[in-house]
Amino acid sequence: MQHIDIQSIKQRFGIIGNSPLLNHAVQVAAQVAPTDMTVLITGESGSGKESFSKIIHSLSPRKHGQFIAINCGAIPEGTIDSELFGHEKGSFTGAQEARKGYFEVTDGGTIFLDEIGEMPLGTQARLLRVLENGEFIKVGSSKVQKTDVRVVAATNVNLLGAVEKGAFREDLYYRLNTVPIAVPPLRDRGNDIYLLFRKFASDFSDKYKVKPISLTPDAIQELMKFRFPGNIRQLKNIVEQISVLEYEREIDADKLRHYLPQGQSNLPMLLSTEKGADQKFSERDLLYKVLFDMRRDMSELKKLVFELLTHDHQEGELLKEHSHLFENIEHHYAGRSYQPEKAEGYLLPVKHPQHDDYDNHKEVEDIPHETEEESLSLEDKEKELILKALKKHNNKRKYAALDLGISERTLYRKLKQYDIEE
Cβ pair 194, 235 in contact under 8 A: no
Q: How far, in Å, CA of 138 to CA of 125, rounded?
A: 14
In single-letter form, the type of residue at position 101 comes to G
Architecture of domain 187-257: Orthogonal Bundle (1.10)
Q: Is 337 helix (H, G, I), strand (E, B) or coil?
A: coil
Q: How far, in Å, CA of 276 to CA of 22, rounded?
A: 18
Cβ pair 152, 57 in contact under 8 A: yes
Q: Where in the chain is the domain with CATH 3.40.50.300?
A: 6-184
Q: How far, in Å, CA of 251 to CA of 215, rounded?
A: 5
Q: Where in the chain is the domain with CATH 1.10.8.60?
A: 187-257
Q: What kind of fold does domain 6-184 have according to CATH?
A: Rossmann fold (3.40.50)
End-to-end CA distance of the chain: 56
**7, 12, 17, 23: CA torsion to nearest 10:** -50
Local confidence pLDDT in tens for the 422 residues of the chain: 557 899 999 999 999 999 999 999 999 999 999 999 999 999 999 999 999 999 999 999 999 999 999 999 999 888 899 999 988 887 777 777 888 999 999 999 999 999 999 999 999 999 999 999 999 999 888 899 999 999 999 999 999 999 999 999 999 999 999 999 999 999 999 999 999 999 999 999 999 999 999 999 999 999 999 999 999 999 999 999 999 999 999 999 999 999 998 754 434 444 444 334 444 444 555 565 566 566 666 766 666 666 666 655 555 565 556 555 555 444 444 444 444 444 344 444 444 444 444 444 444 344 344 444 444 466 777 888 888 888 888 888 888 888 887 888 888 888 888 888 76
Q: Is 395 helix (H, G, I), strand (E, B) or coil?
A: coil
Sign of CA dihedral 171, 172, 178, 182: negative
Whole-structure pTM value: 0.62
